[in-house]
Amino acid sequence: MSRQIYLFSTSSHPKATCINSLNIRYLNPSIDFTKYDYLIITSKQAIKALEQYDKKDFIHLRALCVSAKTAMEYKSIGGSIVTAKEGYGDGLLEKIEEFSKETKWLYLRAQTVASNFAQVAKKNDYKIDEKILYVSECSEEILNLHVQKSATLIFTSPSSVECFLKTHTITSDLKVIVIGKTTAKSIPKNIEYQISEETSIESCIELALEV
């Protein structure tokens, strides 16, 4: 008998039960885009939040994106990218360090973030301003979820792990798959897990179906 697969993500997949872990509340801080050379974008929610602003004010700014998927989202609204880096914090920091320390970056972020790459870069005298564009809150859907025994749990962000653990325990009969190393850091140390070969939902699903 195949395992029930729970996918904790804002995206869906036909072979999994998709659970949206977070409710997103968008903010609208004042931003003077003329002060910056590039944007740093680490989520599609940040791109969604940009829709609150006049596109002509920011669309000329190329973006350093956390992944190919985020880059595609920015391109879909007419933007262009510096590059898309996999691996989250480490990859973004490495790319920022390729630029002059006089380069002015604007990091569009959530209230709570998993990586401290911006703080590390700023300590090394890189010019990065941060604007909080949205707040993520655990959804009732994940908090009240009834998980079947011997299921597979796919976590696609640190926040999805944290929200799940607010009202659930990861028991030994559950198989845990995470989308990358940053998400893996949120898994309790006594819990076994597997990391998908690629940082994509499809790769996670492929790993889940191997059981």
Domains of the chain by range and CATH? 5-21+139-208 (3.40.50.10090), 24-137 (3.40.50.10090)
**Lookup result for tokens 């000329």:** 60
Q: What is the pLDDT of residue 32?
A: 98
Running DSSP on this structure, what letter comes out for residue 101?
Answer: T
85 Cβ contact partners less than 8 Å away, ≥ 6 residues apart: 64, 65, 66, 67, 91, 92, 94, 95
Count other C-beta atoms under 10 Å from residue 111's C-beta.
12
Question: Does residue 28 surpass a pLDDT of 60?
Answer: yes
Residue 211 clears pLDDT 70, i.e. is over it: no
pLDDT at position 131 over 80: yes
For residue 182, name the pLDDT band (cuts at 50, 70, 90): confident
Please say whether the beta carbons of 18 and 167 come within 8 A: no
**CB neighbourhood size of 55 (10 A):** 12
Is the pLDDT at 187 greater than 80? The verdict is yes
**Residue 3 has what DSSP assignment?**
P
Query: According to the model, what pLDDT value does residue 199 have?
Result: 87
- Give the per-residue pLDDT at 89: 63
Residue 163: predicted pLDDT: 95
Please count the CA atoms within 13 angstroms of the CA of 208 that sit on its side-chain side: 28
- Residue percentage of the chain with pLDDT more than 90: 78
Q: Is 199 helix (H, G, I), strand (E, B) or coil?
A: coil
pTM, entire model: 0.69
The mean pLDDT value of the chain amounts to 92
Residue 104 has pLDDT above 80, yes or no: yes
pLDDT, tens digit (0-9, with 9 covering 90-100), for 58-101: 999 999 998 888 899 999 999 999 886 665 566 789 899 999 99
pLDDT at position 191 over 80: yes
Which tokens go with 87? 């691996």
